[in-house]
Amino acid sequence: MKEHMPIVYVVSDSVGETAEFVVRAAASQFNGGRVEIRRVSYVDDPEPIKEVIEAAKEVNGFVAFTLVIPSLREFIIEESKRQGVHLVDIMGPMLEAFQNVVQMEPKRRPGLLHQMDDEYFRRVEAIEFAVKYDDGKDPRGLLRADLVLIGVSRTSKTPLSMYLAHKRIKCANVPLVPEVEPPEELFQVSPKKIIGLTISPNELNLIRQERLKSLGLKAQANYANLDRILLELEYAEKLMRKLGCPVINVSNKAVEETASIVMDILKRGGGKA
């Protein structure tokens, strides 16, 4: 099997991150995804396109592009044919599909996805909220949150909060520890806006052991002790029952999978997971 991965040039009349994401996703299927990407952003005339095609030919690479301006699209297609460089049109087929189905002409304006519209600012606000009210830092945020996540340590509360923030959900989270009383504000929040996260004891044990190792600590510490973990999970389960909130078992689940379940619960207005 050939180990060498080609250099891929990404050409865009905007940022180019969409094309780069697609290239990396494809490259992950080959040789562990090790690929060199050279991004050329905000292209608005043919000259840099010509230079990129020549560079790709020199290193035996190829070019992926997301250009929406017709003249630039035509130029990169013709130039790549002339130079014999492999070219991948990432945006074109999708534009054509939309055009055929909705019977409308695309706007052909670069960067529309990245315009700072209301949706963008709501996402930023949600991310700032998740950072500010992470790990129970300020209980006052619980009353302002769209969603409150609760669970013992290492049940993915923080990464899940950040993922949901990118979906414009203002999410706060509270760690549950038997020796620490949960904040009073938690009991003032509607159970429909609270979701408990639980996990299998054995999986949590492994996660915590790895966490201790990464910190240079002994894996035998109480934090990763199975009896301690069972105690914490039992305490958390009792509290979740008392609150009457939905509970998700995150064992062997990616953050994206758990987030999908969370959003389904929110759409239903709360209830059992």
User: What distances in angstroms separate CA 176 from CA 143, 233, 236, 248, one per listed residue?
Assistant: 18, 9, 6, 15
Tokens for 109, please give them: 């304006």
Q: How many CB atoms lie within 10 A of CB 253?
A: 17
Q: How far apart are CA 165 and CA 215, in angstroms?
A: 28
Q: Which residues pair with 64 in a beta bridge?
A: 10, 88
To the question of whether residue 154 is assigned a binding role by annotation, the answer is: yes
CA distance 138 to 132: 8
Consult the annotation and say whether 157 binds a ligand: yes
> Is there a binding annotation on residue 153?
yes
151 is in an annotated binding site: yes
Integer Cα distance of 68 and 52 in angstroms: 18
Q: Is 156 annotated as a binding residue?
A: yes
Distance (Å, rounded) from C-alpha 28 to C-alpha 124? Answer: 29
Single-letter code of the amino acid located at 245 = C
State the binding site.
151-158
State the binding site for ADP.
151-158
